[in-house]
């Protein structure tokens, strides 16, 4: 998807920390801003009924001409940017991947402009600033979290004040990390609640029951994970308690095994990688791969196990999330494992690790690859089916 429109000014700056990333600063007349830019990459829901949104609407249609000075503008992620200097036209290529390119931040500003620009007085020109990031290896997840943290954390704190995390607090109270979860803004505890929600979100079999859809947001966007938790609460809660069909309530008894599974994969991935390389010839040493660093002092986040490597979750999540194939619903509605996930990991871990690193050695690419998430899921599912058939044959 390419969009060409007039701009008033443009500046391009290469990042001093990563020269492959270029940021374009452009100012365009509100009347010239395209109305159909993709917005799916923005993890925030646009709500124009809030007090802040109403002020934005008034700022667009009012007589103050200094909107571009008073407003932060919009942040866009693009595949490519071209500038026709002779005609003062910019062309933004959003490609066809709406999960990666589009309006990352400033969605309320964008909606306000679209709703009210026809009411701008004819004798006034108003401009909006566009901050456009372009880079093949741009960490979209990190940028999204950084740009959207303030609203996300405030929402989480609000949920905490309304006791909407109480059932989780009670459910994990006796776990080693039970008192280390931070539920409030700036709380001095080791583990943000968002990190625990990501582990649960990856096993949301109500939303991701098979390999047709995959929980990529467990890696690519904490804000989207919280949005899922909020939506589930809105649908399945009564008073200050989740109802029996709330997937996060159903997953709560499995949290200890989910934490153990994630950290076991994290701790044993290096060993599985070396076994894979022994079978398939030489290759890059595990500690030299991008997104992996040697360490002799760090520990895992939840259980505080000593670890030899810090590994990007982009490598771990597509394997971890695949094990939702092992969940099944018992007669009483509770969730349980069809087979012990650790035993399955020990049996097919080398194959799963090979699948990840044969796909790519860029953690950002593999963490967001729907195809990879589907492939790892099928590997676990095939192992489960093989064992189910063996059990039937024994009977």
DSSP 211: S
Print the domain residue range for 58. Answer: 2-138
Per-residue pLDDT tens listing for the chain (395 residues): 899 999 999 999 999 988 889 999 999 999 999 999 999 887 667 888 877 788 899 899 988 888 999 898 999 999 999 999 999 999 999 998 887 899 988 999 999 999 999 999 888 999 999 999 998 777 666 676 666 544 444 555 545 545 788 999 999 999 999 999 988 755 778 898 889 999 999 999 999 999 999 999 999 777 788 889 988 998 999 988 999 999 999 999 999 999 999 999 999 999 999 999 988 776 678 988 888 988 877 899 999 999 999 999 999 999 999 999 999 999 998 999 999 999 999 999 999 999 999 999 988 889 989 999 999 999 999 999 999 999 998 87
Convert the pLDDT of each residue in 220-234 to its tens digit: 777 788 889 988 998
Tell me, yes or no, whether 133 and 23 share the same domain.
yes
Tell me, yes or no, whether 190 and 207 share the same domain.
yes
Convert the pLDDT of each residue in 350-362 to its tens digit: 999 999 999 999 8
Tell me, yes or no, whether 182 and 309 share the same domain.
yes
Tell me, yes or no, whether 111 and 222 share the same domain.
no
Tell me, yes or no, whether 133 and 183 share the same domain.
no
> So what's the pLDDT on residue 153?
45
Tell me, yes or no, whether 112 and 171 share the same domain.
no
d(Cα 200, Cα 384) in Å, to the nearest integer?
21
Tell me, yes or no, whether 193 and 93 share the same domain.
no
| Overall domain count for the chain | 2
> So what's the pLDDT on residue 150?
46
Alpha-carbon distances, residue 188 vs 179, 192, 300 (angstroms): 11, 10, 18
Q: Can you tell me whether residue 61 is helix, strand or coil? A: helix
pTM of the model: 0.67
Residue 314 near residue 219 (C-beta atoms within 8 A): yes
Tell me, yes or no, whether 284 and 311 share the same domain.
yes
Q: Considering 119, 138, 157, which residue would you say is the last residue of a domain?
A: 138
Nearest to 206 by CA among 242, 239, 162, 154: 242
> So what's the pLDDT on residue 188?
78
Tell me, yes or no, whether 117 and 204 share the same domain.
no
């Amino acid at each position: 998807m390419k969009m060409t429109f007039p701009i008033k000014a443009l500046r391009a700056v290469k990042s001093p920390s990563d020269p492959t990333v270029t940021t374009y600063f452009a100012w365009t007349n509100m009347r010239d801003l395209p109305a159909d830019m993709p917005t799916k990459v923005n993890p925030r829901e646009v709500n124009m009924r809030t007090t802040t949104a109403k002020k934005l609407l008034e700022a667009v249609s009012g007589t103050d001409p200094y909107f571009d000075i008073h407003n932060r503008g919009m942040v866009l992620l693009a595949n490519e940017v071209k500038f026709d200097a002779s005609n003062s036209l910019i062309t933004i290529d959003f490609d066809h991947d709406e999960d990666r390119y589009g309006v990352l931040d400033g969605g309320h500003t964008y909606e306000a402009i679209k709703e009210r620009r026809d009411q701008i007085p004819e004798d006034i020109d108003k401009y909006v600033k566009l901050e456009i990031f372009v880079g093949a290896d741009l960490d979209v997840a990190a940028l999204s979290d950084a740009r959207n943290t303030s609203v996300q954390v405030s929402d989480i704190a609000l949920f905490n004040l309304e006791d909407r995390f109480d059932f989780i607090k009670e459910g994990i109270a006796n776990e080693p990390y039970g008192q280390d979860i931070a539920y409030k803004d700036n709380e001095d505890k080791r583990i943000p609640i968002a990190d625990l929600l990501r582990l649960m979100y990856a096993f949301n079999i109500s939303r991701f029951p098979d390999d047709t859809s995959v929980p990529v947001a467990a890696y690519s966007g904490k804000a989207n994970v919280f949005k899922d938790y909020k939506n589930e609460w809105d649908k399945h809660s009564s008073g200050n308690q989740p109802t029996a069909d709330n997937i996060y309530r159903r997953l709560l008894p499995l949290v200890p095994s989910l934490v153990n599974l994630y950290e076991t994969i994290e701790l044993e991935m290096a060993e599985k990688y070396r076994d894979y390389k022994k079978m398939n010839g030489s290759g890059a040493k595990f500690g030299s791969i991008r997104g992996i660093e040697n360490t002799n002092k760090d520990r895992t986040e939840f259980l505080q196990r000593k670890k030899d490597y810090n590994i990007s979750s982009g490598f771990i999540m597509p394997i971890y999330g695949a094990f939702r194939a092992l969940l099944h619903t018992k007669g009483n509605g509770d969730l349980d494992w069809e087979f012990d996930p650790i035993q399955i990991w020990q049996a097919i871990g080398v194959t799963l690790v090979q699948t990840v690193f044969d796909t790519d050695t860029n953690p950002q690419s593999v963490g967001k690859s729907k195809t990879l998430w589907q492939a790892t899921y099928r590997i676990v599912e095939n192992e489960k089916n093989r064992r189910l058939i063996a059990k039937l044959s024994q009977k």
